[in-house]
């Protein structure tokens, strides 16, 4: 059983399109995150949700909109995709009270052409 799963693993799309990446965790964690890892391999936090509520929203264009239908899911919707959005996007989860060990998904490699 995969603890944190993201779909799709690869996503190739044209500029201007809208796409979504889904994330689910079966660990019972109350906090979920989205990270972006660019070509230089910097891993930057984008969003953090705790019990379906947005906690952290780093400097991210408003074309990126996270949605958390329940605390086991945190989906990422991206509007009007741009070339610079090409990166690997990681979803993660952790317990806020149980320490800060976070579990990451396998990543979604987004390529905008």
Partner 1 sequence: LAKTTQPISMDSYEGQEVNITCSHNNIATNDYITWYQQFPSQGPRFIIQGYKTKVTNEVASLFIPADRKSSTLSLPRVSLSDTAVYYCLVTRTGANNLFFGTGTRLTVIP
Applying CB under 8 A, the residues found at the interface with partner 1 are: 4, 31, 33, 35, 41-45, 48, 50, 55-56, 90, 92, 94, 96-107
Shortest distance in whole angstroms from residue 77 CB to partner 1: 20
Which one, of 83, 105, 92, 106, lies nearest residue 12 by Cα? 83
Which one, of 29, 27, 10, 28, lies nearest residue 19 by Cα? 10
How long is the chain?
113
H or E segment to which residue 111 belongs: strand 108-112
80: exposed, middle or buried (C-beta count within 10 Å: 0-12, 13-18, 19+)? exposed
By beta-carbon proximity to partner 1, the closer residue of 9 and 67 is: 9
By beta-carbon proximity to partner 1, the closer residue of 31 and 75 is: 31
By beta-carbon proximity to partner 1, the closer residue of 51 and 79 is: 51
**Distance between CA atoms of 53 and 35, rounded to whole angstroms?**
17
By beta-carbon proximity to partner 1, the closer residue of 66 and 105 is: 105
Shortest distance in whole angstroms from residue 25 CB to partner 1: 12
Shortest distance in whole angstroms from residue 19 CB to partner 1: 20
Shortest distance in whole angstroms from residue 16 CB to partner 1: 28
């Amino acid at each position: 059983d995969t603890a944190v799963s993201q779909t799709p693993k690869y996503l190739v799309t044209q500029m201007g399109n809208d796409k979504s990446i889904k994330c689910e965790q079966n660990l019972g964690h109350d906090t979920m995150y989205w990270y972006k890892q660019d070509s230089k391999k910097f891993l930057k936090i984008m969003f953090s949700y705790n019990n379906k509520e947005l906690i952290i929203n780093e400097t991210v264009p408003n074309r990126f909109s996270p949605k958390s239908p329940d605390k086991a899911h945190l989906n990422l919707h991206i509007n009007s995709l741009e070339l610079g959005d090409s990166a690997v996007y990681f979803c993660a989860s952790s317990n806020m009270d149980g320490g800060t060990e976070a579990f990451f998904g396998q990543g979604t490699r987004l390529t905008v052409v």
